[in-house]
Every structure is written in structure tokens, then in C-alpha cells.
Amino acid sequence: METVLYRKYRPQNFKEVIGQENIVKVLEGSIKLNRISHAYIFAGSRGTGKTSIARIFAKEIGCKASDIYEIDAASNTGVDDVRLLNESVSTLPFESPYKIYILDEVHMLSKSAFNALLKTLEEPPSHVVFILATTELNKLPETVVSRCQLFTFQKPNHNVLKELVVKVAKKEGFSIEQSSADLIALLGDGSFRDTYGILQKVVSYSADKKISAEEVLEVTGSPKNEIVNDFISAIEEGSAEKGIEAVNKASKANVDMKVYLKLILRKLRQAMLLKFAPEMEKQIKNEVSDSDFEFLKKLSAKKDSKINSATLLVLLEAYDLAGRAYLPELSLELSIIKLTDQKQ
């Protein structure tokens, strides 16, 4: 069975970690000075490397696999589960200086389970290190947070993900267009895991070892360029009818409205940058297909263009609403009506 890319290219040491350099630097320093804390919190959105760095940290302080315990707190939420954990920490490590407990999704623990865990965090055995990983730091009791060293993991930026896509595709024997790598990074939405997952689908689909933007759109179910461009053209032309028709086409194609809006915002931003920061033209040209670059250049060349900061702000608001609205299409339909100065 083929190994999934996320596991295949998971960093094995601190040198291979990308996007979390500040955290790595502090952890390496504490190991060098032998200042190991008894408990850490790794907080950040999904797919940012929390568990990977926890495993690397465990290995770097000399822990063998037999003394590393990974516990899914989402499946072991009760007080009885934590009591069993509390009993196990008292036993000495098998063959390591420490026993490491990595509790993933720790915010899922019940209130009583947190209270039970707190007792161990207050007076842990000297051979035990806890690493609590969470995507929702706000759900952790302050009493727990105050007893741990907190590290906040940042989402990797777009360029980091794009470089990762190009690098991994090459290692897998694929050539990839810059526009394709840019699109995969965009759809990865600040998550290493999701970016790897999208690339995995694309390389499994591609028969000729050449990854085009069209293949990425096909595999991910993203809207075709024409539907994205039609919505943008509708703004420029002041045609609410054309914009609503584009939204309707995207909806019928079962396109995720947030993904649709994300692609629209991306192109609008690129058009705006071409207009107000012409020195970025070369960079933007590398990010898009030739036909899209021509489309963007025409938009940016118009003196009375409606592609401006006010337009982007309206669509950013629509993007936020699209994820929460009962009818995701509605936020886009309302935004095109507003942007084309139609009576509401």
C-alpha cells in the first residue's frame, strides 16, 4: 500500500521542520541547557505540525518508542481515562530518561477529567513530560494552562506551502506548473496536512507526471476558471444578473462557496496588485496561467476599474458569512447586488 504523502514527508528532526522556526529554536535551546519542563501546551490550527514536533521533541530528549505514549483525548474524555493515566505515570520509563505523554485534542476532556489531570500536573514525577496538543486553546481551563509552557503554532504562509508542494511533487517524480502549486497551496488553507492531502489526490489522478492547474481544479472540485472570471467580470461590468448567474453555475456544480470566494478574492487581489504595485508583475505571472494573466492585466489597465479595496472588503465580509449562512450562495448574491449598485 502506498504511504500517504503527509506521513512519508513528516519531519523526522528539528532541521526538517518548516514554518515553526521560533518554536524549534526555543525547544532546541531548552534541550541544550537541559531545562526540560514537565508540561507543554502546543496550540494551533489543524495540520500545523503540533504532533510531529511533539514526537521530534520526545526523541531529542532521549525517549525510545516504548516510552512515548500518544493518547487521543477526543476518544478518552472521561475522568476514569485520566485516572488510569495518572496511575501509569508513577511507573518508571522502560529504557529512557523520560516518559512522554502526548495528549492530542486535549480540549475534548471533560471538566472532571481536567480536574483529575490537574493534580498530576501540579506534582508530576520527575521522569514524566506532558505535551498537550489542542486546536482550541480557549477551551482549556486557566488552571491547566498556567502550569504548562505554552507554544502557539502559526499557520504556514502561502509561500511556504507553495514551496513545499513544488519540492514534494519533484521528489515524487512529477513536474508541476507554478500556477498549479500556487492553487494547491491556496486550497491547503494554512494546513500542511490538507496541502499534502490535495497533492496526494492530484498525483494519484495525473497520468502523465505533469500537474496542470486544470487537473487540480478537476480533482478538488474547484470552480472552473470561467465561472470565477465571470463573477469578476460581472463586478467590472456592473451586471448583477451575470454575477448571480455565475454563482448559480457554481452552485449547480456543487462547488464549495468558500472555495469559490477564495479563488475570486485571490484574482481580485492579484489584479489590484498589478495596478498599484506593478513591480510584482513577474511574481504574479508565475502564479497564474497565461490566459488568467492576460485577464488580470486587462482588469488592472482600466482607469475606472471597480477592482479596488472597497470591493475586496465587501467580498471578505461575504467570505466570512458564507461559512455560517444557511444558504452559502446568499452572501455572494447579496455582495454582487451591492457591488453593482442595484436597488436592494
CATH no. for residue 87? 3.40.50.300
For residue 9, the model assigns a pLDDT of 94
Answer whether residue 258 is part of any domain: yes
For residue 77, the model assigns a pLDDT of 65
Strands of the chain (E only): list them: 39-43, 68-72, 99-104, 128-134, 149-152, 175-176, 210-211
Reading the chain (344 residues) residue by residue, the pLDDT tens digits are 457 899 999 999 999 999 999 999 999 999 999 999 999 999 999 999 999 999 999 999 999 999 999 988 878 766 777 888 878 888 999 999 999 999 999 998 888 888 888 988 988 899 999 999 999 999 999 999 999 999 999 999 988 999 999 999 999 999 998 888 988 999 998 999 999 999 999 999 888 889 988 888 888 888 888 899 999 999 999 999 999 999 999 999 888 888 899 999 999 999 999 988 989 998 888 888 888 899 999 988 888 888 888 899 999 999 988 877 788 899 999 999 999 874 44
Residue written as grid cell 506551502 = 161
Domain end point (choices 171, 205, 220):
220
Answer whether residue 14 is part of any domain: no
Both 163 and 62 in one domain: the answer is no
Both 273 and 174 in one domain: the answer is no
Both 141 and 191 in one domain: the answer is no
Answer whether residue 55 is part of any domain: yes
- Identify the DSSP state of 255: -
Both 245 and 318 in one domain: the answer is yes
- Rounded CA-CA distance 284/104 in Å is 39
Q: What is the extent of the structural domain holding 234?
A: 225-339
Number of domains in the chain: 3
Answer whether residue 7 is part of any domain: no
Answer whether residue 5 is part of any domain: no
Both 133 and 200 in one domain: the answer is no
Answer whether residue 344 is part of any domain: no
pTM for this prediction: 0.84
Hey, what's the cell of 10? 513528516
Both 132 and 28 in one domain: the answer is yes
- Using left for φ > 0, alpha for ψ between -120 and 50, and beta otherwise, residue 110 falls in beta
Both 198 and 231 in one domain: the answer is no
Hey, what's the cell of 79? 475522568
Answer whether residue 46 is part of any domain: yes
Both 203 and 234 in one domain: the answer is no
Both 83 and 142 in one domain: the answer is yes
For residue 344, the model assigns a pLDDT of 42
Domain end point (choices 220, 245, 261):
220
Both 113 and 203 in one domain: the answer is no
The CATH code of the domain that includes 180 is 1.10.8.60
Contacts of residue 234, Cβ cutoff 8 Å, sequence gap at least 6:
240, 241, 242, 243, 246, 336, 340
Both 248 and 133 in one domain: the answer is no
Local structure of 136: helix, strand or coil: coil
Order of strands across the sheet that contains 39-43? 68-72, 99-104, 128-134, 39-43, 149-152
